[in-house]
C-alpha cells in the first residue's frame, strides 16, 4: 500500500467502508517470507501494513513486528483491517460529537480547547 501512488486501490481512506478496507488490505502485496519484520527497504510489503497498524494503535512498529514475528502475512492483514476500522469509527464518532456539541455552546467551548 502506498500513499504516493495515483492508483486509488493503493491506499485506505477513512471514508472507505469496512468491506472496501478489508478488500484493499487483503489484496495488498506482501512477500512470501513468514513472520513480520520492520524493514522498509527490504520488506516494504510487510513494513507498510505495520506502519498503518502503528498509526491506528499508537504502538511502535518494532513492538508490532516483534509481536507478529511468527505470524503469516494474512494475520497481519487481519490486524490491520480491524485497527483501521476501529480508527475510522473513532474518527467519525469524534467528528459527530463536535458537530452535535455546537448545539450546546458551553460544551462546544470545552470541546474546542
Q: Which three cell numbers stand for residue 102?
A: 455546537
pLDDT single digits (tens) 45-79: 889 889 989 988 899 999 999 998 888 888 899 99
Domain map of the chain by residue range? 34-112
Report whether pLDDT(1) > 80.
Answer: no
Model confidence at 92, in pLDDT bands (50, 70, 90)?
low
pTM: 0.69
Residue 76: its H or E element = helix 73-101
Q: Which three cell numbers stand for residue 3?
A: 500513499
Amino acid at each position: 500500500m502506498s500513499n504516493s501512488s495515483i492508483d486509488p486501490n493503493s491506499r485506505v481512506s477513512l471514508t472507505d467502508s469496512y468491506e472496501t478496507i478489508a478488500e484493499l488490505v487483503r489484496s495488498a502485496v506482501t512477500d512470501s517470507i513468514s513472520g513480520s519484520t520492520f524493514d522498509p527497504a527490504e520488506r516494504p510489503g510487510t513494513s507498510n501494513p505495520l506502519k498503518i497498524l502503528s498509526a491506528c494503535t499508537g504502538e511502535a512498529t518494532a513492538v508490532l513486528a516483534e509481536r507478529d514475528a511468527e505470524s503469516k502475512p494474512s494475520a497481519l492483514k487481519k490486524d490491520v483491517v480491524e485497527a483501521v476500522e476501529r480508527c475510522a469509527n473513532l474518527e467519525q464518532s469524534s467528528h459527530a460529537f463536535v458537530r452535535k456539541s455546537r448545539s450546546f455552546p458551553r460544551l462546544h467551548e470545552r470541546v474546542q480547547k
